Amino acid sequence: MRPDDADLDPDRFEVHRFEGRGFRQAYVRENPGGVPLLCVHGWPETKRIWWRVIEPLAAAGFEVIVPDLRGFGDSDVAPDGFHDVASHSRDLHALVTAPEREGGLGHERVVLCGGDLGGPVIQDLALRFPEVVERMVLFNSPLPYDKETMAGMDTRPRAGAADYFLRQGTDPDGLAAELDTPEQRRSYIATFYTSRFWAHPGSFTSGQLPGGPAVDFHTEPFADAAKLRASFGGYESAFSEAARSEPPLLARNPDVETLLLFGPSDHVLYPAFDQMAAVTFPDHVGPFLLRDCGHFVPWEAPHQLVSATRAFCRDLLA
């Protein structure tokens, strides 16, 4: 599916700001008054990864809320220095639940949707603030590991896929220092859309950087040195207690009904993600495997994501 001009327009949607957590968090909000649906991007992504699904989800009746996490895209780098899962979770809880008079959206309940880094963030939010979470849509995400229930499953990423994780987690300052020009930073990020085979072949196609205009569009926000370094915070916090604002909550959750989707062309995630997720979320719909789709589900399989989410929430939309 080749991108059209609207897919690559950074100004396609109006961007709002929320300052309730001590920094300016950027977000898109379409169709206020619909069923609140919070869509959380991963790494190396920004809110732009959702560009293809915002309009159809809004047309289906959702109030589509798409933030940039702290340190990503149009959001500020956090003044407290934390860019870990728990911080992201608390930021988003504040955004969606704070009263409108305080700049928030004033919602009591929301449907959560996310993958990659956004996956642990929404899993944490669902465990930390269960009273707020209506349902969850999860795809291509890290999961808690349970040796007993996941015995015999293919839980190891493909060989050679974890080098970036170790470097960003254990030497984030050194890596950031090596990437000392905007072009180097963008070229590094471009590999995750192209040569590292996270996406299904052909999902991102030829231009100024490897992969073409779609990759140019998604790498542009990472040209900023401070934000690229901040984006490593999720990986750093996996190795360093000092990089965690508090322990993340990542565990089996039997209480939230969860729609499970999986782009199996993903070369970085566990090959058995669908099986692992099914035992992590006993009250699940699916798992559904998405043909010719890899890691970047909202971009690679927008129609499937929209139709599945609409069907999953049909009673709420009615």
pLDDT at 202: 86
Exposure string (b/e) for 189-202, b if CB count within 10 Å is 16 or more? bbbbbbebbbbbee
pLDDT at 127: 98
State the sign of the Cα–Cα–Cα–Cα dihedral 86, 20, 32, 132.
positive
Tell me how far apart the alpha carbons of residues 208 and 211 are, in angstroms, rounded to a whole number: 8
Token code pair at residue 293: 């789709």
Tell me how far apart the alpha carbons of residues 236 and 230 are, in angstroms, rounded to a whole number: 10
Q: Which of 236, 47, 26, 234 is nearest to 141 (CA)?
A: 234
Distance of CA 254 to the CA centre of its chain: 22
Tell me how far apart the alpha carbons of residues 277 and 267 are, in angstroms, rounded to a whole number: 17
pLDDT at 79: 93
**pLDDT truncated to tens, each residue of the chain (318 aa)?**
566 789 999 999 999 999 999 999 999 999 999 999 999 999 999 999 999 999 999 999 999 999 999 999 999 999 999 999 999 999 999 999 999 999 999 999 999 999 999 999 999 999 999 999 999 999 999 999 998 999 999 888 776 678 999 999 999 999 999 999 999 999 999 999 999 999 999 898 754 455 689 999 999 999 999 999 999 999 999 999 999 999 999 999 999 999 999 999 999 999 999 999 999 999 999 999 999 999 999 999 999 999 999 999 999 999
**Global pTM exceeds 0.85:** yes
Token code pair at residue 23: 């920094």
Judge whether 230 and 71 are in contact, CB under 8 Å: yes
Return the number of other C-beta atoms located less than 10 Å from residue 252's C-beta: 15
Token code pair at residue 145: 């590991």
Domain residue spans of the chain: 6-157+246-317
Tell me how far apart the alpha carbons of residues 214 and 207 are, in angstroms, rounded to a whole number: 9
pLDDT at 2: 61
Judge whether 140 and 297 are in contact, CB under 8 Å: yes
Q: Which helix (H) or strand (E) holds 165?
A: helix 163-170
Q: Which of 318, 286, 250 is nearest to 89 (CA)?
A: 250
Residues 6+ apart with CB under 8 A from 171: none
Fold for the domain defined by 6-157+246-317: Rossmann fold (3.40.50)
Tell me how far apart the alpha carbons of residues 266 and 197 are, in angstroms, rounded to a whole number: 7
> What are the backbone dihedrals phi and psi of residue 135, each rounded to the nearest 5 degrees, phi first?
-155, 175
pLDDT at 155: 87
Tell me how far apart the alpha carbons of residues 38 and 262 are, in angstroms, rounded to a whole number: 19
Token code pair at residue 275: 């099986």
Tell me how far apart the alpha carbons of residues 105 and 94 are, in angstroms, rounded to a whole number: 9
